[in-house]
Structure 1
Amino acid sequence: MNSTFDITLLIALTIVAGIGAQVLADYLKVPGIVFLLLFGIGLGADGLDLLHPSLLGEGLEVIVSLSVALILFEGGLTLELRDLDRVSGSLRNLVTVGTLITLLGGGMAAHWLGEFPWSIAFLYASLVVVTGPTVITPLLKYVQVDRQVATLLEGEGVLIDPVGAILAVLVLDIILNGDADPWRVMLGLTLRLGIGAAIGAGGGWLLGTFLRRANFLSEDLKNLVVLAGLLGLYVLAQAIRSESGLMAAVVSGIVLGSLALPEERLLRRFKSQLTVLAVSVLFILLAADLSIASLVALGWGSVLAVLVLMTIVRPINVGICTWNSNLNWRQKLFMGWISPRGIVSASVASLFSILLTERGINGGDSIKALVFLTIIVTVVLQGLTAKSIVGWLGINATTATGALIVGSHPLSRLIARLFQERGELVAIVDTDPEACEKAEAEGLKVYRSSALDTSVLEEAGLASMGTFVTMTSNGEVNLVLAQRAMEEFKPPRTLAIFPRDPQKTAATNKAQVQQALIPEVPLKIWNKHLEEGEVKLGETVLRTAGFAFQQAHLQALIRSEDLIPLLLERDRQLQIVPASKTWQPGDRLIYLLYAPKPKLLKRLSGANTSSLTLEKLPEVEEVAVPASVLNTPLEGVQAES
């Protein structure tokens, strides 16, 4: 068997194992790195002995370097600058002060508990200051934590990687050359970060400008142009100053993502696929080269050092760096627990192990083993418990409260008041001065502006609200506004009142915009009923006993336009009723019931929608409904028993 075939087999088996691990992890809904580590170790020298990364020689270092650059570029490309701006203070602290806290805390833990020499202990700490987008991003997609926390963790993972990698190189340089001048260390760190940022910013802008003007290029070729440009920028930065290439990769991705290129969606998809492949290959190769004996040799002291890093150093880091932020204690507690280490720690530790061994310095294998132990413990413990902790703390993205409503009229103001009476943040956006004045007179927060202005939506607090709903009289405008908000802010629930049109419905499914209330809401009719005081605001709880019968009568009243469901409370969460919502026993339904008054009584009492109060009306199923109406199927409202 010749060496060429051995290398071919190595690469093919690595890719098959890596993608297989990702597929299995996706199926079982666990972080992919768990199975990547298991597959890599299982196929390595201490397992089935099928993978031998040493066959690649210096090529392994090249693969690691270019793959990490690609991973960090993709991380920068997917960062949302608007989101980062909202948490910029905390993010800056995590990348700067947080790095120092982890370096000091991790070094002391490795020295006192793991019994490493101070130099090796701080080298280990410099390797684990990073978290990394390769593990954070998939984990956040799985647990669906609220947006502010997700933004902070993703931003930290992307921006701290080059900082940590450069810091680790400087610490290694001190160990190898014995120069511990702190000013020289800070100068080296600043210089590398500055050169990388400058090359990344300039190169990213030039690359984006070229893509905008190169209309002759196909979409596929543009993706490859970006890949070639990234590699060129990385090599250029490395040639000018070693270890500055990672910063160039991150910044070029951020700049390119901020230019709003027409091909951005396809570009992100292409880079995301390459990143999955790069992560899969790297973790399999590096894990296959890991010695189980070196992990066992670390002893319980090293395990305690890792646990201290997770349970003491990280919470202190988050507590100090987010001290003046608007994060609540639940959000901070979750951030203090989540800090899994990823591919940058693994790859740099593997390279350092080789360099230390070549220079005859003890500790290379131990450093690599301790870093991999940190990766395994953090990924397994934090990855498998994150979803439960999010649910326990109540910081799911889907449990966000409050509502931003576009359109001020009697029905929308009534819904806004119901949210407000519940103690939830609510605001209305409208361009009509008179409609805005009416909302203000009812004690509602109003923004007189177009909902197309994202700065107004941001000022109104949409980023932290759970619901965005458009309720103007123009269904097509409602749909456009909802889709725009969905793309810009990604609220957990986006609804709109729009006509029942097959083409529009297909579009909304794609954009995840739900139809509000019921199909083809007769908005003008219900607003008129409200203005004339011909409605009653009621609630009912759908009981298990007789659920189907109770449901049928509700549907019949909706079909006859005598009742419109407004809000649904389930699991103590209040939501605007989507047209496609399935009802369940135990749901609390708040609705409007058409109750016309005699003309004389109407003139005497007047109409005052703000005086409507929630009352438990007689059971809805007791209302007489014609059999012909009951037997008509209703689209959009379904029973779930």
Structure 2
Amino acid sequence: MAIETEAGAMAPVMAFALVGALGVGSQWLAWRLRMPAIVLMLAAGVLIGPVAGIFDPARDIGPLMAPIISIAVAIILFEGGLTLNFHTLRDAAVGVRRLVFVGAPLGWLTSALALRYGAGLSWESAAVFGGIMIVTGPTVIAPLLRTARLSKRPAALLQWEAIVNDPIGALAAVLAFSVVLVLHTATTFQAAMIELVIGIGVAGALGAAAGFGLARSFKRGWVPEFMKVPVLFALLLAVFALSDTVLHESGLLAVTIMGIVIANADLPSYVELRRFKEHATVLLVSGVFILLAAGLDFAALAQLDWRAGLFVLLVVLVARPLTVFVSLLGSGVPMKEQVLVAFTGPRGVVLVAVAGLFGERLLALEFADAALIGPLAFVLVAVTVVLHGFSLAPFARWLGLTGAETPGVIMIGGSPWTTAFAEALQRAEVPVLMTDPNFGHLRAARTAGIATFSGDILSEAAEQRLELVSYATLVAATDNDAYNTLVATDLAPEFGRDNVFQVMRERSENARHQLPQTLGGRPFGPDVTHAALDQMITDGWTFRTSRLTEEFTLADWRDEQPEAHVVARIAPNGTIKLIRKDEDVSAGPDVRLIALRPPDGLGGAQPPADT
């Protein structure tokens, strides 16, 4: 198959492949460079689109582009709804309600004023576009929160506001457009309002019914495991299409409600469903941003003047902060968190997609200034994405609303050796948290001043009470191999499989009784079991930390203490890496090594053999 057609257009299959490769490639490169992925995706789309002319969505994909973006946005909002479990709200519930019920209408008003007096749009165009600007973009917020590692409450405020207000913004635009339509056509106000109410009612009923029905069918076993995701996708598309047929853009509300219902239905397979949806959303967010950036029309942007810059400044520095501060007044949300939320309002895919649609509709009603809506939307998205993409993490750190500067370690299981290891980490200024379901097992850790949590790390209480964002490494080290394997397997997607470790399992005489090697965490330290590690501490082995310098190298350290077992390496920036026995240790000046050393006088002592 040729890459390009005779007319110079790229073949649709190659176009989709290019979008996918650039989207995922941008996400990976952003991870490697520790940069906001959204920024790289916008840059990649602009480069292959209007700059180089390699890819033009309107030319190469044609009429498929609009439905692709609509379905992608619907799936993204549904996945966002799946993350909105009411149990995660806790003390952020009041703030979220205020940002939705007070912030949405107030944001509509302040945005419309910024458009009227900043960008110079007519009241009609400002009212419609101002409704769309209620949204703060879950497509942008989710990647930013993942990078910035915010504390629980401000993260919950931003996430809930973005996802819940997204469909509200789209419906606000529908309402404003309905009023404009009544004022400038023969359509009656009563007919327009009836259509709006029916559309919202159908969307709410469809979303709730689909969510409850799906949850019930999954719980009762009416759908086999291998068909749950396909059934979910098919029902999602059906709900979106049916609702959108009744009232355009109401499908976004329907799928969001459907997601929230499923998220709070306590499904046994909920975690697997959500993780699959997260993976799909990463692909969709990447693709949609590439498509929108590649379809950018520089000629349309050329219509903008200095008033576009004034409009963006008014939105970022006046409209957004004013909306948040008024909404959260008297809510009990600390001022630092209010400041962070007030100056964090990135816009995303939904804003550009819906703004383009209503811009075309207003142009059809002969509002000439509606031609500026699409370019203004893209400029606002580009500026806020770049601004918040680079500023959110340092701004949150300055306010003290992120996890610890040094990524910490969670130690699962209280025992002599885990307590000794935790003390060594604490002396090295690495945050450490020890958890154990047995309160008594944590007595020595509490005496040593180590942070503890008495309970199951997989419990709902742990999810609500622990700031897991402060920790980057997990060590499963109880005396129960099966539990260690369960914890490491379950939390591996959360921490990353390279950052989840567990102690060596007990050897079983019968191979059929062995746990699969594909499950669990990575091994580290001496190749001995939990019991043998405890025995080493009883025999006098200790954890010692050594700092390497240009004069005192790794080779010097090994010559000085050949019997020691390196357990962890701490880089100059504070990141920690657990080391497996005989693994090559890359170490230079200012690297610290935490090693398990035998008591003085034992020479080349070896760890006790497993029995």
Give the TM-score normalised by the residue count of structure 1.
Answer: 0.72
Unpaired segments ≥5 residues, structure 1: 597-622, 633-641
1:134 alignment partner in structure 2: 139
Please say if residues 151 and 467 of structure 2, whose CA atoms lie closer than 8 Å, have aligned partners that are also in contact: no
SS at match of 1:130: coil
Summarize deviations over 1:578-627 as a string: whole Å, max 9, x none.
Answer: 5467544313345564436xxxxxxxxxxxxxxxxxxxxxxxxxx9966x
The answer on 1:471 being equivalent to 2:477 is yes
**CA deviations over 1:471-525 (Å, ceiling 9, x no partner):** 32334433323334446788995443233989979536xx6x4445443263222
Distance change >3 Å, CA 135–CA 178, structure 1 → 2? same
User: Cα–Cα, structure 1 residues 214 and 427, in superposed 2: closer, same or farther, change >3 Å?
Assistant: closer
2:528 maps to 1:520 = yes
Give me the whole-angstrom Cα distance separating, in 2, the residues matched to 1:426 and 1:48: 49
Q: Who is 1:356 aligned against?
A: 362
Aligned match of 2:609: none
**C-alpha deviation, 1:162, in angstroms:** 0.4
Q: Verify the 8 A CA contact 1:279 1:343 in the aligned structure 2.
A: no
Residues in 2 aligned to 1:568 and 1:64: alpha-carbon distance in whole angstroms: 46
- Alignment partners' CA distance in 2, 1:212 and 1:122: 45
Aligned-residue offset at 1:334: 5.8
Q: Which residue of the other structure, out of 102, 110, 114, is the alignment partner of 1:105?
A: 110
2:495 is aligned with 1:497: no
Residue 74 of structure 1 contacts residue 268 of structure 1 at CA under 8 Å; is this kept in 2?
A: no
What secondary structure, in the 3-state scheme, does the structure 2 residue paired with 1:256 have? Answer: helix
The equivalent of 2:217 in structure 1 is 210
Q: Residue in 2 aligned with 1:558?
A: 564
Q: How many angstroms apart in 2 are the aligned matches of 1:156 and 1:379?
A: 17
1:308-347 equivalent positions in 2, closer than 5 A: 308-318=314-324, 329=336, 335-347=341-353
The correspondence of residues 75-94 of structure 1 with structure 2, limited to 5 A, is 75-77=80-82, 83-85=88-90, 87-94=92-99
Q: Please tell me the residue identity of whatever aligns with 2:291.
A: I
Question: Any conservation in 2 of the 1:473–1:523 contact (CA below 8 Å)?
Answer: no
Q: How far apart in 2 are the matches of 1:61 and 1:545? A: 64
Give the corresponding residue for 1:507: 518
> How many Å separate the matches in 2 of 1:546 and 1:413?
29
**CA deviations over 1:236-265 (Å, ceiling 9, x no partner):** 434566543211111212333555454964
Q: How large is the Cα RMSD of the aligned pairs?
A: 4.9
- Corresponding residue for residue 199 of structure 1: 206
2:593 corresponds to 1:586: no
Assess if the C-alpha contact under 8 Å between 1:465 and 1:491 holds in 2.
no
Is the Cα–Cα contact under 8 Å of residues 15 and 277 in structure 1 kept in the other structure? Answer: no
Structure 2 matches for 1:418-429, cutoff 5 A? 428-429=434-435
Equivalent pair of 1:39/1:284 in contact (CA under 8 Å): no
Structure 2 partner of 1:237: 243
Distance 2:578 2:365 in 1: 67
Aligned-residue offset at 1:203: 0.5
1:542 corresponds, among 537, 548, 553, to 548
2:259 to 247, 253, 263: 253
SS of residue paired to 2:212: helix
Q: Using a 3 Å threshold, how does the CA distance of structure 1 residues 492 and 130 change in structure 2: closer, same or farther?
A: farther
Report which of the two structures shows the higher radius of gyration computed on alpha carbons: 1
1:301 corresponds to 2:307: yes
How much has 1:178 moved relative to structure 2? 4.0
The Cα shift of 1:80 comes to: 5.9
2:542/2:597 contact within 8 Å kept: yes
Deviation at 1:372, TM superposition (A): 1.9
> Any conservation in 1 of the 2:541–2:597 contact (CA below 8 Å)?
yes
2:518 is aligned with what amino acid?
A
SS of corresponding position for 1:304: helix
Residue in 1 aligned with 2:34? none
Counterpart code for 1:377: V
Distance across 2 between alignment mates of 1:115 and 1:457 = 51
TM superposition shift of 1:140: 4.6
- Which 10-residue stretch deviates more, 482-491 or 226-235? 482-491
Separation in 1 of the partners of 2:523 and 2:261? Answer: 36
- What TM-score, normalized to structure 2? 0.75
Partner of 1:174: 179
User: 1:355: how far off?
Assistant: 1.4
1:35 corresponding residue in structure 2: 44
Compared CA separation, residues 101 and 526, structure 1 to 2 (3 A): farther
1:635 is matched with none
What is the distance in 1 between the residues matched to 2:262 and 2:518?
28
Give the Cα separation in 2 of the matches to 1:263 and 1:486. 16
1:312-334 CA-to-partner distances (Å, cap 9, x unmatched) read 433455556667677784x7666
C-alpha distance in structure 1 between counterparts of 2:263 and 2:223, whole Å: 21
Give me the whole-angstrom Cα distance separating, in 2, the residues matched to 1:281 and 1:314: 25
1:101 and 1:317 in contact (8 A); partners too: yes
Give the match for residue 374 of structure 2.
368
Report if the CA contact (8 A) 2:19-2:287 is conserved. Answer: yes
Secondary structure of the 2:353 match is helix
Residue type of the partner of 2:44? F
Query: Which whole-Å CA distance do the structure 2 matches of 1:595 and 1:178 have between them?
Result: 88
SS at match of 2:546: strand
Deviation at 1:155, TM superposition (A): 3.5
Deviation per CA, 1:555-600: give whole Å up to 9, x if none: 62225xxxx75x765446485855467544313345564436xxxx
**Structure 1: distance between partners of 2:18 and 2:73:** 19
The one-letter code of the counterpart of 1:246 is L
Partner Cα distance (2:411, 2:45) in 1? 45
